[in-house]
């Protein structure tokens, strides 16, 4: 039995509850040891608008309680859109309240990106987004509230059904397309963020770094670095880009 007991349990509040959930751990276990267990619970987000995010965040504490019952060691409020619509001050307050109430450290994707940029001594970032301009404005504001400069942000007009309606290959290709577009928006950008979990984006990290010579972040690599590598729970990870190879 001891061979299957995880040394660390990574809890995640997934944005949307949908009938088909494609490969929730597929990218995670490319970069994280197998004795780190991923446990998810759905927030039930029905759309990426501010109104729907406010509606869904009412279940935040239910999700936290469910993960506490699973004895998780860490909780991530997943999804760039929920954080962006809530705003940085509110996300940080929720995470602070959660840690005070449970004793479990928490994180969110854009918080992890801000921490990663600070660790690498970078400030100016280009964002590869598939979302509508309304949501892009909220993403930009969040990053700027965290002390970063947004050199530019791409758009594809997607809302939740557009994003989840992509096939696996469409999502992979879209992530590469917006990543390349973002990398060329402004030569002064020091890093690239390929945002959004509906299109798996981990593959963009080594490809875009080789092509453009700049660190590339996704929600996943930033969260894993901030929550597992930075505190020394796992070793730096080679072969998946600059950030994951960066020591604490």
Token pair listed for 67:
């993960």
Residue-level pLDDT at 53: 93
Q: Which domains does the chain possess?
A: 2-108 (3.40.50.12500), 110-220 (3.40.50.12500)
d(CA 86, CA 116): 21
Helix (H) or strand (E) holding 81, with range, is helix 80-86
101-141, pLDDT tens digit by residue?
Answer: 999 999 999 999 999 999 999 999 999 999 999 999 999 99
The helix/strand/coil state of 11 is strand
| Cα 128 to Cα 32, 78, 196, distances in angstroms | 24, 18, 9
| Per-residue model confidence as pLDDT tens for the chain (248 residues) | 778 889 999 999 988 766 566 667 889 999 999 999 999 999 998 888 899 999 999 999 999 999 999 999 999 999 999 999 999 999 999 999 999 999 999 999 999 999 999 999 999 999 999 999 999 999 999 999 999 999 999 999 988 777 777 888 898 999 999 999 999 999 999 999 998 877 789 999 999 999 999 999 999 999 999 999 999 999 999 999 999 999 98
Helix (H) or strand (E) holding 201, with range, is none
The helix/strand/coil state of 72 is coil
How many percent of the chain have pLDDT more than 70?
97
d(CA 150, CA 129): 12
């Amino acid at each position: 039995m001891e061979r299957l007991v995880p040394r660390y349990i990574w809890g995640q509040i997934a944005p949307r509850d949908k009938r088909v959930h494609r490969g929730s751990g597929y990218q995670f276990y490319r970069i994280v040891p197998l004795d780190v267990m991923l446990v998810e619970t759905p927030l039930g987000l029905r759309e990426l608008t501010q109104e729907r995010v406010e509606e869904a965040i009412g279940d935040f504490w239910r999700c936290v309680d469910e993960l506490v019952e699973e004895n998780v060691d860490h909780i991530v409020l997943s999804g760039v859109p929920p954080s962006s619509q809530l705003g940085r001050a509110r996300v940080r307050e929720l995470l602070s309240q959660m840690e005070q109430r449970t004793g479990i450290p928490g994180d969110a994707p854009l918080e992890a990106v801000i921490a990663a940029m600070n660790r690498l001594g970078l400030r100016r970032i280009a964002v590869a987004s598939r979302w509508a301009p309304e949501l892009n404005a909220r993403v930009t504001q969040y990053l700027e509230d965290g002390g970063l400069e947004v050199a530019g942000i791409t758009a594809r007009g997607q809302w939740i059904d557009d994003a989840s309606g992509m096939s696996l290959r469409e999502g992979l290709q879209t992530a590469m397309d917006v990543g390349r577009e973002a990398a060329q928006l402004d030569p002064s950008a020091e890093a690239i963020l390929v945002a959004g979990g509906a299109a798996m984006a981990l593959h963009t990290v080594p490809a875009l770094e080789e092509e453009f010579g700049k660190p590339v972040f996704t929600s996943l690599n930033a969260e894993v670095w901030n929550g597992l590598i930075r505190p020394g729970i796992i070793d730096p990870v080679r072969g998946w880009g600059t950030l994951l190879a960066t020591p604490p």
